Amino acid sequence: MTDRVSADLFRHAQQRFPGGVNSPVRAFRAVGGTPVFVDRAAGAHLWGADGRRYVDYVGSWGPMILGHAHPGVVQAVQQAMTRGASYGAPTAIETELADLVAELVPSMQMMRFTSSGTEAVMGALRVARGFTGRDLVVKFEGCYHGGADYLLVKAGSGLATFGVPTSAGVPAAIASTCLVLPYNDRAALEALFAARGPEIAAVILEPVVGNMGTVPPHPEFLGALRSLTAAHGALLVFDEVMTGFRLARGGAQERFGITPDLTTLGKIAGGGLPLGIYGGRADVLAKVAPLGPVYQAGTLSGNPLAVAAGLATLRVLRDDPTFYARLEASSSAVETVLREAARASGRAVQVQRTGSMLTPFFTDRVVNCWEDAATCDTAAFGRWHAGMLAEGVMWPPAQFEAGFVSIAHDDDTLEATAKAAARAFAAV
């Protein structure tokens, strides 16, 4: 079905924005077709500009764990707006949110608010370098940590290489401060620390990857990360912008029982409004200005609207004792209908899920790292995506992105998803 309203809007947008969008994946180039322009959202649904309703598994790329336009969040933002949109001054509500974050994520003894996950990661790695006096950062291929120059790199062959920029405009000298390893490769990690441990300021990773699709960690991999960083005086940084408050009240670190030195948060932490947080050990955060020499600032950091939305969201997660059990049950049901539809079609598809994050990988192998993910039939995924969209289900428009289930997904949305998946897989 052609959405002519979105097509017209997209043509107009391309005159003003590169590719017609303000974030590349929204352009649908990984799946083909025209992006759906969204008019509104409520609960587990989006409405396109043409008025058509979709079951939404994008969830604004993760923040909408309560569903769209949750009444408590809407009310909190409306009330905050009546007192003013921004002050550039401290507020009591910032500390309320920080207290709640620390209650749910005890490793975050001290923190700093920012306006995005990218800024939170930049702040975390800057303070890690300032605290350790070292320059090198280690990341893993397939993990995305925002748009900082030195993190836009990928791995070469072998155990590790100096970073090679994957975006034009990134100087090689800056990219060279980042080393890249295969995800879930404990041997490569051990070899790198044996060779260069004294130079490494921090290791950063998505504890469950969402940016090459849903890829869980091997249990021994996270344990090795914690022991190796501690032994070599490097800091372990969990990028929980996506997994924070989604996989458990305390995020992936609670789920897997691993305590990082620093954590970055976003998405759910701001209730869907622009807010990021970095924090962790108090002795490390004491290096941040004005206490210490590591400078980081932002005019809209701690914006009262975003803080109000985040506080309202996290209070629901804290106060509802059945929340995560219900979310797990709904997510498991979605996994089952996707798996069964793929099996009935005869397609080689790996449906991988951790908590309420899940991905159907169009490959015949279990995906443990980017090398596995790269075997996916992305053209087949594009056809499947178009089929789901035609049946009224919005899935992330890229093979290498996680889908998200919210607490608003119910039996009716599951039934619609099952019907759509059966037809979409059969037509691939």
Residues recognised as catalytic: 144, 239, 267
**Cis before residue 290, ω within 30 degrees of 0?**
yes
Which amino acid is present at 239?
A: D
Query: How far is the C-alpha of 254 from the C-alpha of 186, rounded, in Å?
Result: 21
Query: How far is the C-alpha of 146 from the C-alpha of 212, rounded, in Å?
Result: 14
Query: How far is the C-alpha of 259 from the C-alpha of 108, rounded, in Å?
Result: 10
Distances (CA, A) of 75 to 79, 83, 95, 354: 6, 13, 20, 31
Provide the token pair at 347.
């397609």
Q: Are strands 53-56 and 393-394 parallel, antiparallel or unpaired?
A: parallel
Yes or no: say if 253 and 277 are a contact pair by the CB < 8 Å rule.
no
Residues contacting 275, CB < 8 A, separation 6+: 113, 114, 115, 116, 266, 269, 303, 306, 307, 309, 310
Residues contacting 173, CB < 8 A, separation 6+: none
Largest interatomic CA distance in the chain: 60
- Neighbouring CB atoms inside 10 A of 270's CB total 28
Query: How far is the C-alpha of 91 from the C-alpha of 83, rounded, in Å?
Result: 12
